[in-house]
Structure 1
Amino acid sequence: MFERNKPVPELMITDLDRSLAFWVSCLGFTVAYQRPEDGFAYLDLDGAQVMLEQVDPKAGQWLTAPLSKPFGRGINLQIDVKAVAPVIRKLGEMGCPLFRECKDTWYRAESVEVGQREFIVQDPDGYLVRLVERLGERPAFSI
């Protein structure tokens, strides 16, 4: 059994097969385990983990309001990858457009800036997924 992270987001989705095609085939996740009869899969990518659960009105799921697309409004999931270029290529081959083009960004964190090459893509239900390649740190400039 593998080690589970704290926390692990669970995303409500409309079609498990379509979501698995995106998360596994395009982004490179593996299925740690799944319960197809429940429309559920637990995914992992080098320690980044996410659960997918297909919406089922008869299952008593924890929904606070009716779902409407795009799902996940107000959240984006940042996921570290070794390199973003192969993922961008795979997304292009699969016909998945980027929500935000790839760029290098530096974020201040106290006395340093943390660099990351990042882009954003939407999964089939509209969740924003930001994939990040780490660029290292540099001293921050005073404001």
Structure 2
Amino acid sequence: MAKFQPIRPMMWTNELKETIAFYVNILGFTCGEYNEEWGWASLYKDNAEIMLAKPNEHTPFDKPTFTGSFYINVDNVEEIWEQLKDKCSLCYEIETFEWGMREFAVYDNNGYLLQFGQEVTI
């Protein structure tokens, strides 16, 4: 049976350079590839990977929309909270939830919702 690999979301943005800067300068990602002609970039940090792209002419695009969030599991959510809480637009502050996750959420420069969580024992 075919094996699934880790998901690498493709996030559309009209502000490609600004979005690369947000993920690199604020979240600590590395830009592995950038192609201005294609309007595309690939970013990574540890085991997390994302791709950024300018929308193409085949798909209508007004502004970023996504009906969910990008959830990133981390091994030290407190450390990441301290690094990001004053640098990002907050959705909700760090909290421990009854389902056993300590997490918080921020918005990137496009308005995409990014959640960071760590499993905890309740």
- TM-score norm. by structure 1 comes to 0.69
Query: What is the correspondence of 1:9-88 to structure 2 with a 5 Å cutoff?
Result: 9-55=9-55, 59-60=56-57, 62-63=58-59, 65-68=60-63, 71-88=64-81
Q: Is the 8 A contact 1:103 1:117 kept in 2?
A: yes
Structure with max Cα Rg: 1
One-letter code of the match for 1:76? S
Unaligned runs of 5+ residues in structure 2 are: none
CA deviation map 1:83-108 (0-9, x unaligned): 223333333453x221111111242x
- The percent identity for this pair of structures is 28
- Residue 38 of structure 1 aligns to a residue whose secondary structure is coil
Gaps of 5+ in 1: 108-114, 139-143
Q: How far apart are the structure 2 equivalents of 1:84 and 1:24?
A: 18
Per the normalisation by structure 2, the TM-score is 0.79
| Equivalent position to 2:104, from 116, 119, 140 | 119
